[in-house]
Amino acid sequence: MAGTIKRAMRGRAAFAMLLAALLAAGAFAECPRPLSRAEIAAHLRLLSDDLLEGRGIGTRGDLLTQAYLETAMASSGLEPAFADGFRQAVQLRRVEPDPGLVLTISGRGGPARRMGIGEQLIALLPLPQRQGELSGQLLFAGYGIESKEWAWDDYKDVDVTGKILMVLVNEPGRDRADLFEGPALTWHGRWVAKLEEAARRGALGVLLVHTTADAGYSWAVVHNSWSGAAFFDPGDAEPTALRGWIAEDAARSVLEMAGLDFSALRAAAELPSFRPVATGLQVTVRGNCPIDTVVTANVAGVVRGRGEAPRRTLVVSAHHDHFGIATPEHGDAIYNGAIDNGSALALLLALARAEADRPVPLAADVLFLAPGAEEEGMLGSRAFLRRSPVPVDQILADLNLEMTWVWGRTRDLVAIGGAKSELGTVIAEVAHRHGLGIGPEPAPEQGFFFRSDQLSFARAGVPAAWIDCGETLADGSDASALRRAYRESAYHRPDDEFDPSWDLGGAVQLGDVLLDLLATLDAHPGPLDWTSPGSP
């Protein structure tokens, strides 16, 4: 206990020293000034420091992060967004993985196959009443999608109650413009949607088949993202008793045990006529995943508008959580999350300070929100909208920041999800005033609109977009390789660390555009209409 107290005291002392240094450097200065690289870098350096231990949900690093965000907002002159302060508690169920979990597949007269957690299987048992051992028949369920919008049903009339489903990630028709949205991923292709649909139908479990091409990221990302604790909102519908990923090679060999060919099944799953295929195999899982309750928090402050109440609200958001201390790589186990999502948080804080310094406040309130638990399915932003401090129908728009561009100034912006509502038109107008175009969404096949907090707002009926710099630098050169290299080597890995050589000119540029965008939205005469029939 004494050692624990000493470590906590050293942590608090180091945090106080770093905070004092930032205050001395002017990170929270009272005098109005434009956005700068120094201000953004100061926030980013601390938010991705080892001291915050990777900002893991419900950890000491999480609490330190919340304290820093609260202090920065208060020092900039923001008012607390909630009745009892800057923080809105979010209670979650935490499920720890069992490294000794074993999955056994048997049947068809051949020898059983045993798989443990590692290079071919990642699995979790999230329900306390289903710990120990569970067993069910294995069913290949294609892409695991039912979509009335696209007249698609992988389940047909097959009862999957008590079954364990093997499901492909992504969605069919990626080479067809007339099916779903062609190469651009929709909500139905997200693994979260597949798990929810399977649980709704009473499936016992789901094994998602991983390929890098389908998922858009390597097995290392799956391993790192799923090897730590998982979190669930106890107010949501219960998940399946088993959820996990299986590598493609392992899935192929499992299906071969049943005399089935993975490639042929995959081809069949591309057709609307597909029906679930019984394998005749039995899956048995033995393991115990410890479960407890943790609390994180959404942190938010408000710059009050000059208009008469009830005022409209504009939201700027950027999640504060990451993966904490997890599987080590090259001797480093701290997942600092500098780009994901320290870069966006740093810009959020700089914007909050600049908005509070605006000589004439906007008519609308501007709420700066740092949700927690985004990495676990946007749990924090969903909780915020369920218990919003302002009526949701008074929120005009959400401008979400995620993995903000840390390199140089660009010639274009991206507005992921902007085209789904009139918000996209306003963003384009403001970008044009700054001499910027709207570039194409990077990697549309990865469905980024469905992977960050703007989705929570859109599903609540609030027009929302993830706004970032594009990939054409100011000198006209293509910088897409920078973002691609980050995704391949550092995304959701310990190498996502602060680099003092980052230019951050693009982040400053984006901040200037966002300040103009807030003023333009403030002057918009009415609500922003939805323009896409596929809006959530």
Clarify whether residues 475 and 411 are in a common domain.
yes
In this structure, what token pair is assigned to residue 55? Answer: 């900002």
36 within some domain: no
Tokens of 351: 């914007």
User: Does 172 lie in the same domain as 113?
Assistant: yes
**CATH number of the domain that 348 lies in?**
3.40.630.10
Residue 161 pairs with which residues in a beta bridge?
Answer: none
Residue 184 has a pLDDT of: 87
Q: Could you list the residue range(s) of the whole structural domain that residue 62 is in?
A: 43-93+293-522
Residue 107 domain-assigned (yes or no):
yes
Contacts of 43 (CB under 8 A, 6+ apart): 22, 27, 72, 342, 345, 346, 349, 350
Q: For residue 321, what pLDDT is reported?
A: 98
- The CATH number of the domain holding residue 252 is 3.50.30.30
Q: Are residues 349 and 493 in the same domain?
A: yes
Return all residues near 252 (Cβ < 8 A) that are at least 6 apart: 262
Q: Tell me what pLDDT residue 12 has.
A: 59
Same domain, 209 and 152: yes
Flag whether 2 is in a domain. no
Same domain, 359 and 420: yes
Per-residue pLDDT of the chain (536 residues; tens, 9 = 90+): 444 334 444 555 556 555 554 554 444 544 457 999 999 999 999 999 999 999 999 999 999 999 999 999 999 999 999 999 999 999 999 999 999 999 999 998 789 999 999 989 999 999 998 999 999 999 999 999 999 989 999 999 999 999 999 999 999 988 887 889 888 888 999 999 999 999 999 999 999 999 988 888 889 889 888 888 999 999 999 999 999 999 999 999 999 999 999 999 999 999 999 999 999 999 999 999 999 999 999 999 999 999 998 999 999 999 999 999 998 999 999 999 999 999 999 999 999 999 999 999 999 999 999 999 999 999 999 999 999 999 999 999 999 999 999 999 999 999 999 999 999 999 999 999 999 999 998 888 888 999 999 999 999 999 999 999 999 999 999 999 999 999 999 999 999 999 999 999 999 999 999 999 999 999 999 999 998 654 45
365 and 332 assigned to the same domain: yes
Do you know the residue count of the chain? 536
Residues 265 and 400 in one domain: no
Q: Is 463 a domain residue?
A: yes
Is 21 a domain residue? no
Is the CB of residue 325 less than 8 Å from the CB of residue 335? yes
* Residue 186 amino acid letter: T
Backbone angles phi, psi at 528, to 5 degrees: -90, 125
Write down which residue in 271, 287, 303 finishes a domain.
287
Task: Count CB atoms within 10 A of the CB of residue 10.
Answer: 11
- Assess if residue 4 is contained within a domain: no
Residue where one domain finishes, among candidates 241, 265, 287: 287
**Same domain? 204 vs 305:** no
Residue 426 near residue 378 (C-beta atoms within 8 A): no
Domain endpoint, select from 287, 316, 340: 287
Both 271 and 328 in one domain: the answer is: no
Is residue 515 in some structural domain?
yes
